[in-house]
């Protein structure tokens, strides 16, 4: 199990935009962490540091306690796999199958082993029968799923997903959710950014809230989405999921997931 950490991480883009402004974060091996926060708060910038695509302007990024700075992206890719928010930035192959095979092949996987990985990854995102098709014949939401498949096929200890829920329908969301759960179940460290608060509350064990490149809240969903945090969440344009809002309105305490809301309602015996 691989842990991640940043120490007073500052990142300034070449045009002077200070996207991260002192982020210190410890993510233990096997944790499932959701990162939320307003558009432009620095989520994508932060996660691109874990595989070295961006290099800290100040501060440090650690992988299992080791500074990532001296290591090549290709080397880090054996440990940390990251999807891009825009799938079109990630997809380059002319066939769906080769897109998924690209990563594992670089890691030295060959033969039936490789075939099996590709097949499984595509199956996990419902693209099983389409291996021979061209990625550009897929719709946007399916290209997002393809990008996800090509990353899970690498079977790295750390998996980081940038807004995997974008554009997904009910079934797609369920796919993403079960992939994350399965990864966590297998002891991987998983970091996911999302604007879908219901997804975050239902899927992640811990939620980190960013605002203007700084961490303003960090804790389990029950804590982060509890009513007394809403004013703070509002300052980074986040609203608690509907279930949390409904639970608070009915005086049922913090119920970030619909399941927890429902349980609370049941306990109430229908006599609110």
Partner 1 sequence: MSETGGVPEIVPEFVLPPPTGAYRRLNPTTKLLIALAEALIAFGVRGWSGPVVVLAIVLASGARAGVGARLVPFLLATIPLVASILLVNTFLYPGATDRIFVLGPLAPTWTGLVFAGQATLRVIAFAMSAAVLGLTTGPDELVADLERRGMGRRTAFVLSATVRSVPRVLERVREITEAQRARGLDTEGRIWRRVRGLVPLAGPLLFGALTDVEEQTMALEARGFSAPARRAVIRTFPDSTPQRALRLLLAAGTPLVLLVSVIGMLGFLP
Partner 2 sequence: MSLSLRSVTYRYAGSSRRVLRSLDLSIERGEVLGVVGANDAGKSTLCLVAAGLAPTTIGGRLDGEVAIDGAPSAGARPHELAQRCGVLFQNPVTQLSGTTATVWEEIAFGPRNLGLALEAIVERVAWALSLLNIDVLAPRDPARLSGGQAQLVALASVLALRPAYLVLDEPTSQLDPQGTQLAGEAFARLTRSGEVGILLVEHKTDLLERLADRVAVLAEGELVAVGPAAGVLADERLEAWGVDPPARVRLARAAERAGVQLPVSAA
Ligand X SMILES: Nc1ncnc2c1ncn2[C@@H]1O[C@H](COP(=O)(O)OP(=O)(O)OP(=O)(O)O)[C@@H](O)[C@H]1O
Contact mark string toward ligand X, 35..54, x via CB under 6 A: --x-xxxxxxx---------
CB of 226 to partner 2, least distance (A): 16
Cross-sheet strand order for the sheet of 206-211: 80-82, 158-162, 189-193, 32-37, 206-211, 214-219
For residues 125 to 154, the per-residue mask of contacts with partner 1, x marking binding by CB under 8 A and - elsewhere, is -----------x-------------xx--x
Query: Binding of Mg ion at residue 150 (CB under 5 A)?
Result: no
Contact status: 134 vs partner 2 (CB under 8 A)? no
According to the binding rule CB under 8 A, does residue 249 interact with partner 1? no
Q: Does residue number 83 form part of the binding site for ligand X (CB under 6 A)?
A: no
Instruction: Tell whether residue 19 is a contact of ligand X (CB under 6 A).
Output: yes
Closer CB to Mg ion, 80 or 252, in the complex:
80
DSSP for the chain reads: ---EEEEEEEEE-TTS-EEEEEEEEEE-TT-EEEEEESTTSSHHHHHTTTTTSS--SEEEEEETTEEGGGS-HHHHTTTEEE--SSHHHH---SSHHHHHHHHHHHTT--HHHHHHHHHHHHHHTT-GGGTTS-GGGS-HHHHHHHHHHHHHTT--SEEEEESTTTT--HHHHHHHHHHHHHHHHTT-EEEEE-S-HHHHHHH-SEEEEEETTEEEEEE-HHHHTSGGGHHHHHTTT----HHHHHHHHTT-----SHHHHHHHHHHHTT--
- Count, residues near partner 1 per rule CB under 8 A: 25
Give the nearest distance from C-beta 13 to ligand X in angstroms.
3
Q: What angle do CA 203, 158, 75 make, to 5 degrees?
A: 160
Binding mask 76-105 for partner 1 (x = CB under 8 A): -xx--xx-x----xxxxxx-------xx--
What distance in Å separates the CA atoms of residue 211 and residue 208, rounded to the nearest whole number? 10
Q: Which stretch binds partner 2 (CB under 8 A): 54-62, 74-82, 214-222, 243-251?
A: 243-251
By C-beta, is 115 or 246 nearer to partner 2?
Answer: 246
Applying CB under 8 A, among 206, 238, 248, 257 the residue interacting with partner 2 is 238
Contacting residues toward partner 2, per CB under 8 A? 13, 15, 17, 37-40, 44, 85-86, 88, 139-142, 163, 166-173, 195, 197-198, 234, 236-239, 242-243, 246, 249-250, 258, 261-262, 265-266, 268, 270-272
Contacting residues toward ligand X, per CB under 6 A? 13, 15, 17, 19, 37, 39-45, 85
Contacting residues toward Mg ion, per CB under 5 A? 43-44, 85
């Amino acid at each position: 199990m691989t842990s991640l950490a940043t120490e007073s991480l500052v990142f300034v883009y070449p045009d002077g935009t200070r996207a991260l402004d002192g982020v210190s974060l410890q993510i233990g091996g096997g944790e499932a962490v959701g990162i939320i926060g307003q558009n432009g708060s620095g989520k994508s910038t932060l996660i691109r540091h874990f595989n070295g695509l961006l290099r800290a302007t100040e501060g440090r990024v650690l992988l299992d306690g080791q500074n990532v700075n001296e290591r090549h992206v290709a080397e880090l890719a054996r440990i940390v796999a990251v999807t891009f928010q825009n799938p079109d930035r990630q997809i380059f192959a002319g066939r769906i199958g080769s897109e998924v095979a690209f990563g594992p092949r670089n890691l030295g996987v060959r033969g039936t082993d490789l075939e099996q990985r590709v097949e499984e990854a595509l199956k996990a995102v419902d693209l099983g029968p389409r291996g021979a098709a061209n990625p550009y014949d897929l719709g946007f939401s399916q290209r997002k799923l393809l990008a996800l498949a090509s990353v899970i096929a690498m079977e790295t200890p750390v998996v980081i997903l940038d807004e995997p829920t974008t554009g997904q329908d009910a079934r797609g969301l369920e796919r993403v959710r079960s992939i994350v759960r399965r990864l966590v179940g297998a002891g991987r460290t998983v970091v996911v950014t999302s604007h879908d608060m219901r997804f975050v509350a239902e899927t992640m064990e811990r939620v980190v809230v960013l605002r203007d490149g700084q961490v303003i809240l960090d804790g389990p969903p029950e804590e982060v989405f509890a009513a007394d945090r809403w004013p703070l969440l509002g300052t980074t344009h986040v609203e608690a999921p509907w279930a949390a809002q409904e639970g608070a309105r009915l005086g049922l305490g913090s119920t970030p997931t619909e399941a927890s809301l429902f349980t609370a309602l049941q306990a109430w015996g229908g006599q609110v």
